[in-house]
Amino acid sequence: MGLARAGFSATICQDPQGILDASHLIVPGVGAFADCVQNLDARHLLTPIRNAIRSGKPYLGICLGLQILFTEGMEFGSHPGLNVVPGQVVRFPEGALKVPHMGWNQVRIEKPHPVLEGIPDGAHFYFVHSYYPQPTDDAWVTTTTEYGLRFTSTIGRDHLFGCQFHPEKSQGVGRTLLGNFARLKG
């Protein structure tokens, strides 16, 4: 739906051939880290996703689709991810702020990326999450967001981009981001 609003079409695939045939991959998700990885594995999609990323196919991970790119997720114990981006996915600390982090929040652009083109520093996006990524290499970090602490809200390198927020729920800036991704060349 978000891509259609940005003027692009999409096909939902649940098999390895669909991933091979796609020009771009968007892996969205809401749920538990380990369940997501197990479901992708049960459908024989982990290797095709890794191969697509290695081949230079544009990849957009949304929320859980971002988190599974990391080495390890700490939701309900330690669970392996795709290990494309070194680091962990950790829970917000208990404290004064409500978890999950839900609602509109600003992103601070730390490093340019083609998917962020035309999006102003301080733009608001819609978040729903209890866990956030911690890359071991800050070179991956393209935006950060404040919620009791400064956390990585997007990562990017070349054809790979991931966002902790939901662009499909983020109105105009979300459409801009999705359109930029759809135009990204592999």
Are 121 and 108 in contact by the 8 Å Cβ rule? The answer is yes
Encoded tokens for 73: 């997720």
Active site residue 124: no
Residue 8's pLDDT is 76
Residue spans of the domains in the chain: they are 2-183
Using CA atoms, how far apart are residues 167 and 112, in angstroms rounded to an integer?
Answer: 17
**Torsion angle of C-alpha atoms 128, 125, 163, 12, degrees rounded to 10:** 80
Encoded tokens for 75: 């939701």
181 vs 94, higher pLDDT: 181
Active site residue 129: no
Are 60 and 25 in contact by the 8 Å Cβ rule? The answer is yes
Active site residue 166: yes
| CATH number listed for the domain at residues 2-183 | 3.40.50.880
Encoded tokens for 124: 């608001």
**Is 80 exceeded by the pLDDT of residue 157?**
yes
Annotated catalytic residue, options 24, 36, 63, 113: 63
Residue 31's pLDDT is 87
Annotated catalytic residue, options 79, 129, 159, 166: 166
- DSSP letter for each residue of 113-178: -GGGTTPPTT-EEEEEESEEEEESSGGGEEEEEESSSEEEEEEEETTEEEESSBGGGSHHHHHHHH
Count H helices, E strands: the chain?
6, 12
Using CA atoms, how far apart are residues 79 and 43, in angstroms rounded to an integer?
Answer: 18
How confident is the model over 27-57, as pLDDT tens digits? 998 889 999 999 999 999 999 999 999 999 9
**Is 80 exceeded by the pLDDT of residue 66?**
yes
